[in-house]
Amino acid sequence: MTNKDSALRASTMLWLSLLTPLCLTLAFPPFYLWPLALIALAPLSICALRGKTGWRWWAWYYLLGYIYFAVNLYWLIIVTLPGYVVLCFYLALIFPLFVLVLRVLAKDLKIPAIIAVPVAWTVLEFLRGTLFTGFPWFSLGVALAPATLLLQSADLFGMYGLTFLAGISAGAITDAARTGQTRRWISPVAAVLVLLAASFYGFYRLSQPLNPDGPKIAVIQRYIPQNIKNSPDTTQEKTMVNKYFAMSRRAAAQHPDLIAWPETSVPGFLNSAWLSQSPDEFSRAGRHLLEADQHFALQLGRFSMRHDVNLLVGSSAIHFTATGKTRKMQNIAVLFTPTAGELPRYYAKRHLVPFGEYVPFKKSWPALHRFLLGLTPFGPNDDYSLTPGDSWSRFTLTAEKNTWRFAVPICYEDVMSHPARMFARVRNGKKGVEFLMSISNDGWYDSRPELQQHLQSDQLRAVENRVPIARCVNGGYCGFVNSDGQIIKLVTNHGHSAFVRGIAVARLPLDSRITLFSRMGNIFSRLLVILTIAALVLGLAKRFYLRDQQTLRDKTSPDARARDE
């Protein structure tokens, strides 16, 4: 091959590899071109297996990853520019690592790309969603949320099972494009058969009836930007809560069983240990704060009893040591019931948002901890670290003669598959909950795509465990998702669901099906990780062995001996 041909081939590979971040971007909201998720990995895979390697190519693959995440996570800039930059540097590693793992599997171990591509990407995506508490945003499987038939397979192996499914079709295209491959038609045919099997499974699942007699729930949507929520103005806080009450009175007229407000919708602290304190035990500032929180709690309890409705709100909790110092603060969901004299119950969020609610190395590496604080929305001088809850608490919703069990993933918890599964995991042959009530505060962002992408995560969580989800979000897309991942209803105002105010009321259809994913969790992904590590060790050992053998042959060849003589 001449230098001109080599340069032309390199140029072609560069342009081809750009198609992967482009297809990945278009597969997610706001574009919703989900079929592109089935082919998105093919261009990069073809380049990885047909192109050259070297530091320039590794740098190029890393640059592709950085461009992809920097473009699509732009909505983080308004929250923390330094954190956005560093996060993109970290996430970009998945592109060159994918190329590395794929080359070992496909070139060294001769594994067909139809297997190697989905294995490599799924393993790395699973690790990205797990390590350092995880950041699974833009998981390839989530892009398939609008593909209703394919989405149903999530109840088998979860979100990463759908990622694997998308990787199969991309791997088949890669096999068909590889030179020197005999019977290149086998992989595309196999991929079509797999997709058809997944579609038939989806059709079967969708044909199974749901129980329409679930709870009637109302969600309150009112967009409040985070700078207003962070304001120290107590008058503004009271105005905000009063507006929620006004909308809730309108919702109560439709006689729901439960009314839900978003995460941190009530300022201050609403845990019973704090509310039961005497104001006389505190200084003037502490007394004023406690009295305000007790007033809010009294209002919420009276509203619940007056309208004979359960009321779920988002707030915070504070706990003290024996000497009166703050021991921990938590992000909580609080349930007020119309039963007189009953104290509100709460769930404390267990999976905290990294660099938002949790910054590591506080005690083990203080210097690094201070640096990482600079990446948070609060800056280096404000350590807004929360304490995670210690149990997957569930609530009981009682209305007339009916009783339902439900749980409340808070904020980022519904993006992860683990919390929803822990809530729904099987106990005594039955699901732990009959529905989920997801509450979140997306008032940090001013981006409609972030809200749409968050909604897609709830579609995955609903199918993984076959539990319907009601979602109440400060920002938008409050509404209801059934256990087949279909959106039942959203808050709309003049045709829009983002950054508007409104009420949505619906009866959730219940589902008694127990899924394989609820029983087994991410065991499929974990097994892939173990097998991939073993394959990498074997592949690299094989590579070094062949290299040593080639060196030995070169030294013992007639030409080498002639040179020595």
pLDDT in tens, 29-87: 999 999 999 999 999 999 999 877 788 899 999 999 999 999 999 999 988 898 899 99
On the question of pLDDT at 1 being above 60, the answer is no
Query: Are 274 and 246 members of one domain?
Result: yes
Query: Are 346 and 357 members of one domain?
Result: no
322-336 pLDDT, tens digit per residue, is 666 667 889 999 999
How large is the angle between the packed helices 41-50 and 154-177, nearest 10 degrees? 50
Query: Are 29 and 81 members of one domain?
Result: yes
Residue 514 within a domain = yes
Question: Which of 368, 387, 406 is the last residue before a domain boundary?
Answer: 387
Q: How confident is the model at residue 454 (pLDDT cuts 50, 70, 90)?
A: very high
202 or 549: which leads in pLDDT: 202
Question: Per-residue pLDDT averaged across 462-481, rounded?
Answer: 95
Q: Encode burial over 324-349: b for 16+ CB neighbours within 10 A, e otherwise.
A: eeeeebbbbbbbbbbeeeeebbbbbb
Question: Which of 480, 498, 519 is the last residue before a domain boundary?
Answer: 519
Query: Are 150 and 291 members of one domain?
Result: no
pLDDT at position 308 is 93
Residue 556 within a domain = no
Residue 557 within a domain = no
Residue 213's φ and ψ, nearest 5 degrees, are -90, 50
What residues does 395 pair with on adjacent strands? Answer: 406
Position 554, amino acid? D
pLDDT at position 32 is 96
Query: Are 493 and 546 members of one domain?
Result: no
Residue 555 within a domain = no
pLDDT at position 510 is 96
Residue 375 within a domain = yes
Please state, rounded to an integer, the average pLDDT across all residues of the chain. Answer: 89
296-328 pLDDT, tens digit per residue, is 999 999 999 999 999 999 999 998 876 666 678
On the question of pLDDT at 559 being above 70, the answer is no
Q: How confident is the model at residue 564 (pLDDT cuts 50, 70, 90)?
A: low
Residue 49 within a domain = yes
Q: What percent of the chain has pLDDT over 90?
A: 63
Q: What percent of the chain has pLDDT over 70?
A: 92
341-381 pLDDT, tens digit per residue, is 677 899 999 988 877 788 777 777 778 877 778 777 777 77
Q: How confident is the model at residue 231 (pLDDT cuts 50, 70, 90)?
A: low
Dist CA 40 CA 546 (whole Å): 33
Q: How many domains does the chain have?
A: 3
Residue 160 within a domain = yes
Query: Are 284 and 318 members of one domain?
Result: yes
Assess contact for 460 and 354: CB atoms under 8 A.
Answer: no
Dist CA 186 CA 119 (whole Å): 18
Q: Please give the residue range of the domain that contains residue 32.
A: 3-207+523-550
Query: Are 29 and 128 members of one domain?
Result: yes
Residue 164 within a domain = yes
DSSP summary character for residue 282? S
Question: Per-residue pLDDT averaged across 175-194, rounded?
Answer: 83
Query: Are 45 and 106 members of one domain?
Result: yes
pLDDT at position 550 is 64
Query: Are 469 and 363 members of one domain?
Result: no
- Look at 107-116, 251-260, 486-495, 542-551 and tell me which has the smallest mean pLDDT: 542-551
Assess contact for 319 and 325: CB atoms under 8 A.
Answer: no
Query: Are 338 and 365 members of one domain?
Result: no
Distance separating the N- and C-terminal Cα atoms of the chain: 34
Q: How confident is the model at residue 565 (pLDDT cuts 50, 70, 90)?
A: low
On the question of pLDDT at 230 being above 80, the answer is no
Query: Are 70 and 198 members of one domain?
Result: yes
- Look at 239-243, 283-287, 340-344, 358-362 and tell me which has the smallest mean pLDDT: 340-344
Assess contact for 326 and 318: CB atoms under 8 A.
Answer: yes
pLDDT at position 59 is 94
Query: Are 448 and 427 members of one domain?
Result: yes
pLDDT at position 158 is 95
Q: What is the pTM of this model?
A: 0.91
Q: Tell me, what CATH number does 463's domain have? A: 3.60.110.10
